[in-house]
């Protein structure tokens, strides 16, 4: 796996909307924020593209061209996503993965950005970053924990190892004990499910599977989990990291929420499972280097990331 060099002050960075659109004001605020970090911002055409169908930041071809431009320009040192949303899957069949592999760069985002994390990890062998997005997180509330976690993940190439932390006072919860080691893979649960049966289906063999979700009823999460179970994704994995489940609900029985479901679902699982990793649709948010080696130890509650 390829770890990209992080951007430095004064470097050019790309800004793209590879999924859903933003307003002109949000785009301007996002550019101003990155400039305040002393980056020279190169906005993609998707940043100001007229919405298509109301939920797409321009057509798939345009967004694919954005990604090619950002990876192909040697002056651009990192690519930040404005937001997630919908329709990132419109772009996957339009990408030149050889180009991306030959020009490794920081690629940051989450939610619908999972489409790109999985494809870039598996088809370009690029380590990517499940972390904050500019419009969604940075211009609204770029808190000290979120910033420090992002910088720690971006520095992994220099330090060699990093321990993933939760915000103070929020411990990881152990659902199943044990130790495991493998490449970390995953992202948003519903997006992982949507990739099943496609050329970008998530490979979990020997890996530490991470997933998170937002705005889903317990019954829907139950369905997602069983789809992955029957597809062998949990059996193939070396261990499981369960991220944040924001705005969860259960219209049928409000007393039975996602944590209860996870405890029941993994009750007989013979590999380690940690719950409540604060990465996903939450504030603060920790940054996970997807594609890096993850060593998990539920006894010490340590999540350590390293490079092969």
| pLDDT computed for residue 141 by the predictor | 84
Q: Name the residues annotated as catalytic.
A: 111, 212, 281
| pLDDT computed for residue 177 by the predictor | 98
| pLDDT computed for residue 144 by the predictor | 97
Cis omega (within 30 of 0) for bond into 284: yes
* Residue 99 near residue 72, CB atoms below 8 Å: yes
- Render each residue's pLDDT in the chain as its tens digit; 308 residues: 999 999 999 999 999 999 999 999 999 999 999 999 999 999 999 999 999 999 999 999 999 999 999 999 999 999 999 999 999 999 999 999 999 999 999 999 999 999 999 999 999 999 999 999 999 999 988 999 999 999 999 999 999 999 999 999 999 999 999 999 999 999 999 999 999 999 999 999 999 999 999 999 999 999 999 999 999 999 999 999 999 999 999 999 999 999 999 999 999 999 999 999 999 999 999 999 999 999 999 999 999 999 97
| pLDDT computed for residue 140 by the predictor | 83
| pLDDT computed for residue 124 by the predictor | 98
| pLDDT computed for residue 202 by the predictor | 98
* Residue 79 near residue 14, CB atoms below 8 Å: yes
Domains with residue ranges and CATH for the chain: 12-142 (3.40.50.10740), 161-306 (3.50.30.60)
| pLDDT computed for residue 77 by the predictor | 97
How buried is residue 237: exposed, middle or buried, by Cβ count under 10 Å (0-12/13-18/19+)? Answer: buried
Q: How many CA atoms lie within 13 A of 66 on its CB side?
A: 29
Q: Which two tokens stand for residue 208?
A: 């530490």
How buried is residue 137: exposed, middle or buried, by Cβ count under 10 Å (0-12/13-18/19+)? Answer: buried
Q: Nearest Cα to 195, choosing from 218, 238, 224?
A: 224
Alpha carbon separation from 145 to 64, 121, 268, 299 (Å, rounded)? 32, 26, 35, 24
CA 68 – CA 80 distance, rounded (Å): 14
| pLDDT computed for residue 83 by the predictor | 98
If residue 193 lies in a helix (H) or strand (E), which one and from where to where? helix 189-194
CA 79 – CA 57 distance, rounded (Å): 16
Q: Which two tokens stand for residue 109?
A: 């985002």
**Maximum CA pair distance of the chain?**
54
């Amino acid at each position: 796996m390829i770890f990209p060099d992080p951007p430095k002050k004064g470097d050019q960075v790309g800004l793209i909307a590879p999924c859903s659109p933003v307003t002109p004001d949000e785009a301007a605020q996002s550019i101003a924020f990155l400039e305040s970090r002393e980056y020279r911002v190169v906005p993609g055409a998707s940043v100001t593209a007229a919405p298509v169908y109301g939920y797409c930041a321009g057509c798939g071809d345009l967004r694919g061209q954005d990604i090619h431009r950002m990876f192909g320009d040697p002056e651009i040192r990192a690519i930040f996503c404005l937001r997630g949303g919908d329709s990132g899957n419109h772009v996957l069949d339009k990408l030149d993965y050889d180009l991306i592999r030959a020009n490794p760069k920081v690629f940051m985002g989450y939610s619908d950005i999972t489409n790109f994390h999985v494809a870039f990890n598996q088809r370009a062998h690029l380590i990517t970053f499940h972390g904050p997005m500019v419009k969604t997180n940075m211009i609204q509330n770029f808190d000290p924990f979120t910033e420090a976690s992002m910088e720690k993940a971006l520095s992994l190439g220099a330090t060699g190892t990093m321990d993933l932390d939760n915000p103070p006072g929020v411990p990881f919860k152990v659902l199943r004990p044990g130790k495991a080691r493998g490449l970390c893979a995953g992202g948003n649960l519903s997006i992982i499910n949507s990739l099943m049966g496609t050329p970008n289906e998530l490979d979990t063999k020997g890996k530490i599977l991470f997933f998170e979700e937002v705005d889903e009823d317990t019954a829907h999460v139950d369905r997602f989990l069983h789809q992955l179970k029957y597809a062998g994704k949990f059996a193939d994995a070396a261990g499981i990291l369960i991220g944040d489940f924001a705005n969860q609900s259960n219209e049928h029985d409000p007393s039975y929420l996602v944590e209860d479901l996870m405890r029941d679902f993994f009750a007989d699982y013979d590999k380690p499972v940690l719950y409540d990793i604060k990465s996903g649709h939450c504030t603060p948010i920790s940054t996970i280097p997807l594609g890096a080696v993850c060593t998990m130890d539920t006894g010490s509650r340590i999540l350590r990331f390293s490079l092969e």
